[in-house]
Amino acid sequence: MRIRTIMLAAVLALGACGGKSKGPEAAGDTTATAKPLYDRLGGKEGITAVVKDLIANVGADARINTMFANSDLAALETKLIDQICEASGGPCKYTGKTMKETHAGMGVTEAHFNALVEDLVKSLDKIGVKDPEKSELLGALGGMKGDIVEK
């Protein structure tokens, strides 16, 4: 449960969830060559690379790593990949608990949330995700903050 909560916090830190990303069309790009965010992130392979790096960043981040001390990191990785995949318009389905259920009673603060987002952005930068895709992904996941932060 703790893994799901932190994993979800990471994903939530990324942006405003509410469904799949609308992709470039939402920004006015209606060309036939416009690709979904999932594809522009490199598909499941690209998302997996970001998530693996994120987990390493979180593990090295003294601000939040103790929150993950008892987590099943393999399960967390899988859930995060599915969540980001689905939020970006990919074929995956996130089957975990809601962010609110996952984070209830964890005491996640604004500082914890921000640390996770910083770790995520660091991973996106390292993997080479461009600013438009980074912003779109964060926007696709951002609405979850209210369900994650308790203090």
Summarize pLDDT for 75-119 with one digit per residue, the tens: 999 999 999 999 999 999 999 999 999 889 999 999 999 999 999
Please state which of the four CATH numbers 1.10.490.10, 1.10.260.40, 1.10.10.10, 3.40.1410.10 is assigned to the domain occupying 2-14+38-144. 1.10.490.10
CB 147 within 8 A of CB 12: yes
pLDDT grade, residue 65 (50/70/90)? very high
pLDDT of residue 13: 44
Q: Which of 16-25, 51-60, 76-85, 88-97 has the lowest mean pLDDT?
A: 16-25
Cα torsion 106, 122, 38, 51: sign = negative
Tokens linked to 41: 């992130």
Per-residue burial over 85-102, b if 16 or more Cβ lie within 10 Å, else e, is bbbbbbebebebeebeeb
Q: Is the pTM of this model over 0.85?
A: no
Backbone angles phi, psi at 61, to 5 degrees: -95, 105
